[in-house]
Amino acid sequence: MRLEPPIIILNFKSHKETTGHQAENLALIAEKVSRDTGITVAIAAQATDIFRLSRRVKIPILAQHVDAEDPGNYTGHITAYAVKEAGGVGSLLNHSEKRLLLMDIAKAIAALRTEDLVSVLCTDTPFTSIAGAALRPDFLAVEAPELIGTGISVAKAKPEIITRTIELVNELSLDIPILCGAGITDMNDVSRAFDLGVDGVLLTSAFVKSNDKYGLLFSMCRAAIEHYKR
């Protein structure tokens, strides 16, 4: 299963509300929205929930992190092979809450590629985005860490992070889809992000905290359809 833009990735992080059976309930909502709109809605789940979610829904399930090591004597590590066996289709890498060294990012991308899994590399500036792009991940996701969870959209507060990243990647003729995240709260934030040229968005808080999760996500997907530029 591949990720086709436009994309919305719901990062479940490690909240109680996004764990276990509650994660299943949220995944079912996401699956219904994806089916009703035709938009790719993926979930970045905790490692312990990948198997149960991949058996419960047919939308893409990503890991939130994989380690650089191959299968072997590495207690406590999450390997790309284990993610694949659990039913995951790929992984986020280097999220601002789970930073990696550049050499470990390169190894993790290679490990995911070996297993035919998708790599979504998170970065925080246009320049780290270019450094990351050189490693040829499948997707780049640029986020402003200081805006994560604030409800202040990166597309509104720091649009230059997005536009400059896209410019630099295009200048190098690297055909890597660009996603953005941090503070994505509603359909207007999604519209603004896609107007800037992204291929997808990542979000957490707005969806998890919403009293109308289906309605919120549906409106975001509709905005993605209307404003996606490719």
Name the residues annotated as catalytic.
95, 143
Q: Which residues contact 76 (CB under 8 A, 6 or more apart)?
A: none
Q: What CA–CA distance (Å, rounded) separates 193 from 149? A: 17
- Asked whether 115 and 81 are in contact (CB, 8 A), the reply is yes
- How far is C-alpha 79 from the geometric centre of its chain's CA atoms? 18
Neighbouring residues of 20: CB distance < 8 A, sequence distance ≥ 6? 49, 52
Residue 69 CA: distances (Å) to CA of 37, 111, 132, 179, 212:
38, 8, 19, 26, 40
Q: Tell me the two tokens of residue 35.
A: 């089916």
